[in-house]
Structure 1
Amino acid sequence: MDPAAPLPDDLATLWYLVRRVAGLMDRSGEALFQREIGTSLAQFLVLSVVDAHPGPLNQQTVADRLGLTKGTVSRQIDAAVAAGLMTVRTSEQNRRENLIALTPAGTGLVRRGDAAFEREKAAMLPSVDPEDLRAAIRVLAALDGVLDPSRGGPQKQRSATETR
């Protein structure tokens, strides 16, 4: 499909462009992190979320932050533990919950990935006006707030047993 071709309405165009740009950004990020630090974009994102959180946190929190399933995050955590980038321990408050934290090697990898991203950022968005980028972020953040029930958006459909 031609990205410039008109779609039935603005919402359809927005949906299409968001999905297309997200895919292009994912492919670009995948290539960057593989080339610069030898890891996948998914692995880097999981490590980055853990790095940004003070103290250990659980797998579900990481999954929620990235919009991924707990299973997907679990596979990334297993790979990070095997590579010596992360530790996993059982929570003292809930024995069914695993808490994850970065090792010094994991922190170092995140710092190298952040530096690689900073170097590439200008090349990724050379012709986008900074104010346009901020406007796009505001619009997407507003849509996220409207569409995500956990952020006050439309309520999840109630099950048949709840409506009786």
Structure 2
Amino acid sequence: MDVPQFPDDQATLWYLIRRVAGLLDRGGEALFQRELGISLAQFLVLSVVDAHPGPLNQQTVADRLGLTKGTVSRQIDNAVSAGLMTVTVAPRNRRENVVTLTAAGTELVRRGDAAFEREGAASRPELDPADVQATIRVLTAMNAALSHLHAPR
């Protein structure tokens, strides 16, 4: 793939991040629809809840995924209807709901993780581990700087 010419490295980086993110999203959407019959957004919500010990509230799930609370709420409603998740009133704050996975939700996440590993192993490019670590450091620094810059005041 030829990278279009941009005025500087920052613009090129922005373009490549967006392009890779879009390709990953499309691939993930196709994978989880085919393997599990659910959307990528649904799988991500289930995965975040699965990865956290104990119940989470909807806002925490939204924050961890960088999605709106409304988007996460729709995914939670779908998961509850499918028997993958439960929603209960938070014990410490009656105005807040907490979400937990059912056994079926946990099993679906395990199947999705396995499908992702199989698909990833077949389609990921060979990358030098040092390059991967450098990329993670750069993206972590950018995430921290941009999150701070755009944090609510």
TM-score by length of 1: 0.87
* Residue aligned with 1:148, SS: helix
Which string of whole-angstrom CA distances, capped at 9 and with x for unpartnered residues, describes residues 24-59 of structure 1? 000001111111111111000000000001111100
Residue 112 of structure 1 aligns with an amino acid whose one-letter code is: R
Aligned to 2:62: 63
* Residue aligned with 1:84, SS: coil
Aligned length: 153
Q: CA deviation at 1:131?
A: 2.6
* Structure 1 portions without partners, runs of 5+: 159-164
Aligned to 1:114: 113
2: CA distance between counterparts of 1:79 and 1:25? 23
Aligned to 2:17: 18
The percent of aligned pairs where both chains have the same amino acid is 71
* Residue aligned with 2:17, SS: helix
Q: CA deviation at 1:157?
A: 7.3
2: CA distance between counterparts of 1:40 and 1:5? 31
1: CA distance between counterparts of 2:81 and 2:16? 37
Q: CA deviation at 1:125?
A: 1.4
Question: Displaced runs of 4+ in structure 1, greater than 6 A?
Answer: none
* Structure 2 portions without partners, runs of 5+: none
Higher RCO by CA contacts (8 Å cutoff, separation 6 or greater): 2
Q: CA deviation at 1:92?
A: 2.1
Which string of whole-angstrom CA distances, capped at 9 and with x for unpartnered residues, describes residues 99-152 of structure 1? 000000000000000011111112231333333222211210111111112xxx
Contact 1:29/1:41 (8 A) holds in 2:
yes
Q: CA deviation at 1:156?
A: 4.4
- Greater per-residue helix proportion: 2
2: CA distance between counterparts of 1:109 and 1:120? 16
1: CA distance between counterparts of 2:143 and 2:44? 19
RMSD after superposition: 1.6
Shift in alpha-carbon separation, 1:64–1:155, aligned structure 2, 3 A: closer
